[in-house]
Amino acid sequence: MNLKKIVASLFTLFAVATGSAQSNDALLELLVKKGFVNQKEIDSIRKATQTEVHLTTSHKTFLLDLQIKNRLEYRNGYGNIPDASTAPAAFVNQRSRINFSYQDDSNLNAVFSIQDARVWGSKDPKGLNGTIQLFEGYIEPFLTHSLSIRIGRQCLAYDNQRLFAENEWRVNAGAHDAINLRFKSKKLNTELVGAFNQTSERFFGTDFTPTELSTTAANSTPSTWTNYKALLVHYLKYQYNDVFTLTTITASDAYQDAINKEQNYWRFTYGGRLEYQKKQWYLTTNTYFQSGRNTTGKTINAWYLQPELRYTSTNKITIKLGAEILSGDNGKIGAIDHNFVPLYGVAHRFNGSLDYFTRFPTDLNNAGLVNPYFYISKTINSHLEISSNNHLFYTQKSFVTAANTTLTKFMGYEHDLLITYKPNSYTAIESGFSVALPSNTLTAIKKTGDANRIPTWAYVQVKFTPTLFNSSF
């Protein structure tokens, strides 16, 4: 390139990067008139410099959004079956969350999210015992355009969230303290996660025995809690074509021995999902296996299966038929533990809104679960949706009582009616009503309740998610 072209390129680059369209055209016309370059060369230089500016310009976004969620619940059989001595419960819970998010194209992401989660009236309004907590707080620098590393407190939500979930239904949701190597391309998404928990900055040893008392949504009396000591997860999702998608999850979590604090028992969970979707039809099979050791050191040999068929009609009616099967024992763990535990996933959307089975295998008394389900939903318009969800519950293995009596596998039936109304982009109003018909097997396994009584539950939830500030620069 001769000197004139070099000078023209520099002027053009400056004009494209900093000037207005009108001033750019005037400058380019002047270069042509002075004989520096001809029109064809100007067009070529303009195209090259515009491409360069596009590649080197970084698009930054700062986002501030708010989330306020209130839920009024009436419980007369939620989680536990009522009997003659129980009375209905009612309360309002609230989540107040503010999110700060910064994104710099493929250079850097950062999120800082704090929240307050409470039941109305549970805290002394004159007291000093606040409930502000960190929900998410991470930084994510990009190593390449497609490869990044997320460090800090973050949600792990994979696939249909059966094994790892944000747990949005829970008033304070859920997150993990972890490091996450992430790769994303057009067809392939994969993550490699590692976490290691301790209660303090220790001088010796790695004893992870939390002694701090905690209040949860299910337990109003402060109590000690447990969590994994170490966690390793690999997640992969591959879009083979427009019809088939493959998802795999391989996870290892460790819990320490109750006596020898340096002895850790590792549990291994591995498997995946194959999805087929074409036009109005969706078919999937989800299969996982568990091995390793449980928290008491016993060998694990367990499995999970979820086949599902879904059809969506042209008039926006969706029909879903499937089943969840979790392996178990006959009520008592022998030398081998056959109880599948769905790790840190959500149960509320899978096994009925009454949440009879959320702590595995405790809520099933080591008998496993077979849950055939039938959902039908109708989208009335862009604002309103109604869904009717039906569940049958069976034990996977025949439950044997302490008196050596074998109970029937059928545990009961549950129906959930859900209505969702979204008047605008930042408001969602949900209402639900659930009823169940329990059997004597369910009351025996839950160790509470009267099978002759009908459990009921209802709620109304209002969730606001407005964006308070959004700036791109």
Q: Give the tens place of pLDDT for each residue, 280-293.
A: 999 999 999 999 99
Q: What is the pLDDT of residue 328?
A: 97
Distance CA 89, CA 77 (A): 9
Tokens representing 267?
């549990």
3-state SS record for the chain: CCHHHHHHHHHHHHHHHHCCHHHHHHHHHHHHHCCCCCHHHHHHHHHHHHHHHHHHCCCEEEEEEEEEEEEEEEEECCCCCCCCCCCCEEEEEEEEEEEEEEEECCCEEEEEEEEEEEECCCCCCCCCCCCEEEEEEEEEEECCCCEEEEEEEECCCCCCCCCECCCCCCCCCCCEEEEEEEEECCCEEEEEEEEECCCCCCCCCCCCCCCCCECCCCCCCCECCCCCCEEEEEEEEEECCCCEEEEEEEEEEEEECCCCCCCEEEEEEEEEEEEEEECCEEEEEEEEEEEEECCCCCEECEEEEEEEEEEECCCCEEEEEEEEEECCCCCCCCCEECCCCCCECCCCCCCCCCCCCCCCCHHHCCCCEEEEEEEEEEECCCCEEEEEEEEEEECCCCCECCCCCECCCEEEEEEEEEEEEEEECCEEEEEEEEEEEECHHHHHHHCCCCCCCCCEEEEEEEEECCEEEEEEC
Please report the DSSP string for 290-344 in residue order: EEEB-TTS-EE-EEEEEEEEEEE-TTSEEEEEEEEEE---SSS--SEE-----TB
Contact 29, 8 (CB under 8 A): no
Nearest by Cα to 178 from 199, 157, 200, 193: 193
Residue 356 buriedness (CB in 10 A; 0-12 / 13-18 / 19+): buried
The 10s digit of each residue's pLDDT in 180-190 is 999 999 999 99
Cα-Cα end-to-end distance for the chain: 35
Pairing of strands 89-104, 108-119: antiparallel
* Contact (Cβ atoms closer than 8 angstroms) between residue 34 and residue 8: no
Q: What is the pLDDT of residue 123?
A: 86
Identify the burial level of 72 via C-beta atoms within 10 angstroms of its C-beta, where 0-12 means exposed, 13-18 middle and 19 or more buried. middle
pLDDT tens across the length of the chain (473 residues) = 555 555 555 555 445 444 444 455 666 566 666 666 666 666 665 665 555 444 455 689 999 999 999 999 999 999 999 999 999 999 999 999 999 999 998 899 999 999 999 999 988 888 887 789 999 999 999 999 999 999 999 999 999 999 999 999 999 999 999 999 999 999 999 999 999 999 999 999 999 999 888 877 677 678 888 899 999 999 999 999 999 999 999 999 999 999 999 999 999 999 999 999 999 999 999 999 999 999 999 999 999 999 999 999 999 999 999 999 999 999 999 999 999 999 999 999 899 999 999 999 999 999 999 999 999 999 999 999 999 999 999 999 999 998 899 999 999 999 999 999 999 999 999 999 999 999 999 999 999 999 999 999 999 999 999 999 999 98
Measured distance CA(95)–CA(459) in Å, rounded: 16
Residue 97 bridge partners (DSSP): 67, 115
Tokens of 269: 């969970």
Residue 223 is predicted with a pLDDT of 85
Using the structure block, give the residue that is written with the tokens 């001595």: 85
Nearest to 34 by CA among 4, 14, 6, 59: 4
